[in-house]
């Protein structure tokens, strides 16, 4: 992203102007994460000050039985495997 577009986007963000779809795409494609993070931090602190919230997100899996085979998964067990679990059951 060229410096001119960065300055233009900074002005819009600092003025509280609504960004266009093209602005969003330009920000998404930016390879200057420090600049983008700084801009995001400005908006966040303007809106929320120094208050930060965290969301603890939990998923209760009813079973680990799954027929898919996602390459990264160490959770799933194929139907019929001895180590499968289901909600309310012991390991069977």
Residues near ligand SF4 (CB under 6 A):
66, 68-70, 73, 75-76
| Cβ-based nearer residue to ligand SF4, 53 or 58 | 58
- The conformation of residue 18, written as its DSSP 8-state character, comes to P
* Minimum CB distance to ligand SF4 smaller for 40 or for 73: 73
d(CA 55, CA 12): 29
Of the pair 52, 70, the CB lying nearest ligand SF4 is at 70
- Least spacing, CB of residue 55 vs ligand SF4, in Å: 21
Q: Nearest distance from residue 79's CB to ligand SF4, in Å?
A: 12
Element (H, E) at 5: helix 3-14
CB atoms within 10 A of CB 27: 18
Cβ 56 to ligand SF4, closest distance in Å?
A: 21
86 Cβ neighbours under 8 A, 6+ residues apart: 62, 63, 65, 92
Nearer to ligand SF4, 53 or 91 (CB): 91
Structure tokens at 92: 């069977």
């Amino acid at each position: 992203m060229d410096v001119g577009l960065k300055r233009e986007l900074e002005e819009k963000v600092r003025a509280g102007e609504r960004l266009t779809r093209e602005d969003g795409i330009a920000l998404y494609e930016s390879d200057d994460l420090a600049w983008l993070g700084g801009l995001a931090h400005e908006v966040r602190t303007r809106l929320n000050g120094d208050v930060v919230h965290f969301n603890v997100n939990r998923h209760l899996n009813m079973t680990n039985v799954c027929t898919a085979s996602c390459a990264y998964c160490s959770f799933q067990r194929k139907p019929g495997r001895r180590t499968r679990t289901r909600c309310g059951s012991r390991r069977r």
